[in-house]
Amino acid sequence: MSLAQRLPVALEGHPRIIDTPKRVRVLFHGQYIVDTTKAKLVWEKPFYPTYFFPISELSSDLLHRSADAEHGGVEYDLVVGRHIIPRAVVVYNEGELKGLLKILFGAADAWLEEDERIYVHPKDPYKRVDVLQSSRHVVVKLNGVELANTRRPRLLFETGLRVRTYIPLTDVRVDFLRPSNTVTACPYKGEANYYNVELPNGETSKDIVWYYRVAQLECAQITGFVAFYDEKVEVWVDGEKQ
């Protein structure tokens, strides 16, 4: 059996569900509204899992019915004292998810696995992220203008995604970089900041460079390095155009 056949991913609308041994807590306005060792990881989509909980793990006193949802679910507002998050909870009454509920990740103030805070969404236990030092010669250009030239990239390998190349800032034409206000987050790598690129002719390409000021521990080697969207620039590796 191949690895792809073993992975619990969603297929044709059928979510894959596994138990997790981790203690999971959900913090909302100074109160742990969930504190359980009975959480389940559910792949509603193939890209990442979501935490679901048995209905008994969230007090019904915190819920105010809002509307019916898809796939046999009912949406509820989450209410703690005077604090209300509309349609933050979905309770499932039928199908494979019957007896479970999910809390929208962004509705809570914080999520913890054991005593460690997690961000964006739960990590996929079937995904691996590796950062490897490389001596490949990497050149990055945009419309014929060289943006980076390095022989010391760090390559990030993430299960199911294309390899990303992180380059020391000293090997990048920083005079073309313009700070962007864009910020994104990844549970594996951390919070990313972005640059726009402004070429000598005044042409600007938005958010095609990103970096992590403080990367997560497993990706600490990319801290301060920059990556280019390979899909939006021209990349040569050891003389071969990618």
* 84 or 3, which is more confident: 84
| Residue 205, domain member (yes or no) | yes
Q: How far is CA 25 from CA 6, 110, 132, 138, 165, in A?
A: 28, 8, 33, 44, 35
39 CA to centre of own chain: 20
Q: In this structure, are residues 197 and 181 in contact, taking their beta carbons and an 8 Å threshold?
A: no
Whether residue 147 is found in the same domain as residue 237: yes
User: How far is it, in rounded angstroms, from Cα 62 to Cα 24?
Assistant: 18
Mean pLDDT of the chain, nearest integer: 91
Helix (H, G, I), strand (E, B) or coil at 217: helix
The pLDDT value given to residue 95: 87
Whether residue 167 is found in the same domain as residue 191: yes
The pLDDT value given to residue 7: 46
The pLDDT value given to residue 12: 52
Whether residue 160 is found in the same domain as residue 207: yes
The pLDDT value given to residue 15: 85
The pLDDT value given to residue 69: 61
Cβ neighbours for 85, distance < 8 A, ≥ 6 positions apart: 28, 77, 78, 104, 107
Whether residue 81 is found in the same domain as residue 185: no
pLDDT of 192 higher than 60: yes
| Residue 124, domain member (yes or no) | no
Terminal Cα-to-Cα distance of the chain (whole angstroms): 32
Alpha helices, DSSP H, located in the chain = 3-6
Whether residue 107 is found in the same domain as residue 20: yes
| Residue 78, domain member (yes or no) | yes
Whether residue 146 is found in the same domain as residue 227: yes
Look at residues 118, 141, 176 and tell me which one is the last residue of a structural domain. Answer: 118
| Residue 226, domain member (yes or no) | yes
| Residue 191, domain member (yes or no) | yes
How many domains would you assign to the chain?
Answer: 2
Look at residues 118, 142, 157 and tell me which one is the last residue of a structural domain. Answer: 118
| Residue 26, domain member (yes or no) | yes
Please report, for the domain that includes residue 134, its CATH number: 2.170.150.40
Q: In this structure, are residues 105 and 120 in contact, taking their beta carbons and an 8 Å threshold?
A: yes
Whether residue 89 is found in the same domain as residue 150: no
- Mean pLDDT, residues 211-233 taken together: 96
The pLDDT value given to residue 108: 94
Q: For residue 30, is it left (φ>0), alpha (ψ between -120 and 50) or beta? A: left
Which residue range forms the structural domain that includes residue 78?
3-118
pLDDT of 65 higher than 50: yes
Q: For residue 71, is it left (φ>0), alpha (ψ between -120 and 50) or beta? A: left
The pLDDT value given to residue 67: 66
Q: Cβ of 100: how many Cβ atoms within 10 Å?
A: 22
User: How far is it, in rounded angstroms, from Cα 156 to Cα 31?
Assistant: 38
The pLDDT value given to residue 14: 75
Per-residue pLDDT tens digits for 80-121: 888 899 999 999 988 899 999 999 999 999 999 999 999 999
**Tokens representing residue 30 in the block:** 């100074």
Within 13 A of 222's CA, how many CA atoms are on the CB side? 28
Look at residues 118, 141, 161 and tell me which one is the last residue of a structural domain. Answer: 118
Whether residue 55 is found in the same domain as residue 103: yes
